[in-house]
Amino acid sequence: MVGLLPLCAATVFEGGTAAAHPRILEAIKLFMKRHPEVAKKIIRADDVSVGGYMGRRLTSVCDKEKLVRVLRYMLDENEFFSPYGIRSLSKYHREHPFLFYLQGHEYKVEYLPGESNTGMFGGNSNWRGPIWMPVNGLIIRALLQMYPFYGPDFKVECPTGSGNYMTLFEVAKEIGRRLSAMFLRDETGGRPVYGGTKKFQEDPH
């Protein structure tokens, strides 16, 4: 999930903002001139100076190329894209846990789809697979922030490998739909949010 968070550092300015506040654009250009090595890593100069869809301008730590690369992993159902939103840890680590050895002991970080199998962090496994709602909200907001810049012609494959392409706005809607599904009754009548806890699933009160 930490690798997805750079998506959230994004905002879009309407086309008239630079004209109304010319010192903002001057400051951006000056920064890029003084720090070309930094500007090269965050967003291309032409994205800032020329503007995107409808003359809007984007400030982001991810340029278009990086955005596409990050979304390719995020929207992969074998990685972060679950039926209920964006996982906090890639499903890849279910079969390929991260292992390291220290003083003769093995330590392992693996994907866990539900409850934790250890008492670490109070037994909560959110950091090892399940959905973090606040961060999913930040990701949705970031996509909605970037959509006005890239516009309706910029599309990414969602889910990855499906052959189905969506705008950033549509991707945000799809993540929201999947998040909602966590709380709705499934085909068995249960609500996924409660997992295997019978009290919450079956108690009429």
What are the mean pLDDT values of the chain's consecutive 10-residue runs (205 residues total)? 87 82 84 84 55 78 89 96 93 89 88 74 68 93 93 96 97 97 91 87 89
Token reading at 197: 């806890």
The pLDDT score that the predictor gives to residue 164 is 98
| CB burial readout 168-195, b (16+ within 10 A) else e | bbbbbebbbebbebbeeeeeeebebeee
**What sign does the CA torsion over 20, 23, 24, 30 have?**
positive
62: in domain: yes
Residues 12, 110 within the same domain = no
**196 within a domain of the structure (yes/no):** no
State residue 49's pLDDT score.
47
Q: Same structural domain for residues 96 and 176?
A: no
Instruction: Give domain status of residue 140, yes or no.
Output: yes
Domain containing 10 equals: 2-75+131-181
In a domain, 105, yes or no: yes
Residue 193 lies in a domain: no
Q: Are residues 138 and 126 in the same domain?
A: no
State the pLDDT at residue 87: 93
Give CA–CA dist 151/154, Å, rounded: 6
Whether 26 maps to a domain, the answer reads yes
Q: Which residues lie below 8 Å from residue 23, measured CB to CB, with a gap of 6+? A: none
- pTM recorded for the entire structure: 0.83
Number of domains present in the structure of the chain: 2
Residue 126 and residue 153 in one domain: no
